[in-house]
């Protein structure tokens, strides 16, 4: 394989591993202004992993006729899909709280915390990148 094909394959492989392993990523690691982990990526990872586990469960239960031990697969579903997603979501909310405290965008009414996004400019907010540079800042309403 050529180097470019190999690097593309490695990029795809890393993205698949990120989805299945809930690998932690931050926008500071690669220097881009795009967050790697958002609410949507956490939910997508949980749904993807759950569906793979459920599909494999149906095949294994039918193949080995272990219908009386179905509860084992519910533990596998918890430990392999739901629990890692819950932990990643907690880490994500901790990071969002830190961004809300440390940036001007965190107090703006246009900041969407679930996607770490400025709603006016449709750009992701990071500690080092304020999309409007404070020009469109409006305080959040108190109610």
Chain segment 26-51, per-residue pLDDT in tens: 444 555 556 777 788 888 888 988 99
* Residue 65 Cα distances to 53, 61, 69, 75, angstroms: 17, 5, 9, 18
> Beta strand pairing status for 111-112 and 117-118?
antiparallel
**Residues with pLDDT less than 50, the chain:** 26-28
Q: What is the pLDDT of residue 20?
A: 67
What pLDDT shows up at residue 54? 93
Q: What is the per-residue pLDDT for 55? A: 94
Domain boundaries, the chain: 37-92, 103-143
pLDDT score at 3: 67
> By C-alpha distance, which of 68, 87, 110 is closest to 21?
87
The H-or-E segment that residue 123 falls in is strand 123-124
79 and 72 Cβ atoms separated by less than 8 Å: no
Provide the pLDDT for residue 26.
Answer: 47
**Torsion angles phi and psi, residue 106, rounded to 5:** -65, -25
pLDDT value of position 25: 53
% helix / strand / coil in the chain, to the nearest 5? 60, 5, 35
User: How many Å apart are CA 36 and CA 99, to the nearest integer?
Assistant: 15
pLDDT of residue 56: 92
């Amino acid at each position: 394989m050529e180097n470019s094909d190999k690097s593309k394959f490695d990029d795809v492989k890393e993205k698949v591993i990120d989805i299945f392993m809930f690998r932690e990523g931050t926008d500071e690691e690669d220097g881009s202004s795009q967050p790697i982990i958002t609410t949507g990526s956490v939910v997508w990872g949980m749904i993807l992993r759950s569906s793979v586990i459920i599909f494999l469960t149906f095949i294994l239960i039918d193949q080995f006729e272990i219908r009386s031990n179905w509860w084992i697969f519910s533990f596998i579903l918890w430990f392999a899909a739901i629990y890692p997603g819950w932990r990643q979501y907690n880490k994500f909310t901790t990071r969002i709280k830190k961004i809300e405290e440390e940036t001007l965008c965190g107090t703006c009414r246009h900041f969407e915390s679930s996607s770490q996004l400025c709603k006016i400019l449709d750009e992701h907010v990071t500690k080092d990148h304020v999309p409007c540079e404070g020009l469109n800042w409006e305080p959040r309403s108190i109610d």
